[in-house]
Structure 1
């Protein structure tokens, strides 16, 4: 995201809660962004806002320590920094990052409040750019999710064809055939998600759909690869125990690979 010649960093770990760089926003006002952030956090209104946000979103927020800060806030002797706030209260709405793209980041709710303190006009421009980015990201995310979903469907057909050809004797009843398919599908569920479809449903009775409908992009991609690999193993004559061990190794390897290229690299979005 960019505003008035300033690159503003954004990162997310769950594609829902996004954190925006307060350090970058503060550069709009001063070449010493750390001092700008500390001055903002000295205000009683700021401390009360941060505390309310944490109470709404953070079950581990330390209320006693917060009350102490709130009572002191606004006085001439009161000082506050992001690190002090985080370490003392267990706050999660503000985070400190080190490295090339390091600095102080805050949940978008908090970042917009900080931008408003910097400049009402600047806040409106940031919100406008942020909404534009979200619309673009949601469009690409939906496209990628649907693409991976279709890939999973294609590999599912390859998977079921292998089961039909190699694992289902001709004398089985329709009920027994259905069980064989479900058994193989649940094997992949256990390998990737750590539970069967029934176990997931029992744990989430109020959620519509099934476990795979709520899968992430990474999980859908890995699932598609597992289905394809399981089909190969079935053709090789591997028994289910052997296949589970090999599939689990593949899943762990791919999870580590995908995590290594995750959004924790903090790319700059324009």
Structure 2
């Protein structure tokens, strides 16, 4: 689990974590709404027949490896006084993915947000509504933050583009007819487009997609664009030919991609 965040519902701090790009909410934290014996509260919810039916349907929709035979056995036992089911037993025997348990600082039982909301209904309809409200507030806040940071990265790329155009003007356009200037600027820009996006601005336009090619860039691509524009400006100033610059910049792009793709800030924006 990564990217742990906290929301507060009825004065109860509740952890939200990310697993495989999906949000999972701590059932252990939520269960404190009912009392301190959180493990027993979750087990009581799991032994409920309606709960198992919901979990089974969710897994069948989202999990191709879900074990239906084992699920049917649990379903038949549910509701009886002797039936007890823990999150660990449910996961181990059915290969369920909607519920996860872990140890450590943010340990406890977590569930996919769909399942967590269902648990919230069982705890209290009012609690569920406040949970949904706070979760939505968290997602809106994250979206706004990502949007601001994406635009900041995009603006940095635009600033470095100015460094590149200045280097072109001062080093590549000397004694070149003005009618060819626009083509030289475009060729330099498309050299980076090919390295980063695998296509030129013209080829992007021919696909029918709206907007500038670089406006569709991911946060990682924007970061690489900004760095390559700065490097290209330096290489132009040093008098290095475009063919050689292309190979050097392509190698740098691959290195940056490998280095930055697992960067926490980049992953947060993706």
Provide the aligned C-alpha RMSD in A.
3.5
Cα deviation for residue 51 of structure 1 reads 1.9
Structure 1 portions without partners, runs of 5+? 190-195, 264-270
Scaled by the length of structure 1, what TM-score is found?
0.74
User: For 1:182-197, what aligned pairs fall within 5 Å after superposition?
Assistant: 182-189=190-197, 196-197=198-199
Partner of 1:247: 253
Cα deviation for residue 7 of structure 1 reads 0.7
Cα deviation for residue 219 of structure 1 reads 4.3
Aligned length: 251
Partner of 1:131: 136
Structure 2 residue aligned with 1:42, among 40, 44, 47?
47
Partner of 2:234: 232
CA distance in structure 2 between the partners assigned to 1:45 and 1:138 by the alignment: 34
CA distance in structure 1 between the partners assigned to 2:119 and 2:44 by the alignment: 11
- Answer yes or no: is the 8 Å Cα contact 1:43–1:73 preserved in 2: yes
Q: Which stretch shows the higher mean deviation, 55-64 or 106-115?
A: 55-64
Cα deviation for residue 247 of structure 1 reads 3.1
Structure 2 portions without partners, runs of 5+? 1-6
Cα deviation for residue 243 of structure 1 reads 2.7
CA distance in structure 2 between the partners assigned to 1:83 and 1:167 by the alignment: 66
Cα pair distance change 1:179/1:217, threshold 3 Å: closer
Partner of 1:267: none
- Answer yes or no: is the 8 Å Cα contact 2:260–2:266 preserved in 1: no
Partner of 1:217: 219
Secondary structure of 2:81's partner? coil
- Answer yes or no: is the 8 Å Cα contact 2:15–2:25 preserved in 1: yes
Secondary structure of 2:111's partner? strand
Cα deviation for residue 10 of structure 1 reads 1.2
- Answer yes or no: is the 8 Å Cα contact 2:49–2:79 preserved in 1: yes
Partner of 1:266: none
Secondary structure of 2:261's partner? helix
CA distance in structure 1 between the partners assigned to 2:37 and 2:114 by the alignment: 23
- Answer yes or no: is the 8 Å Cα contact 2:228–2:249 preserved in 1: no
Cα pair distance change 1:91/1:158, threshold 3 Å: farther
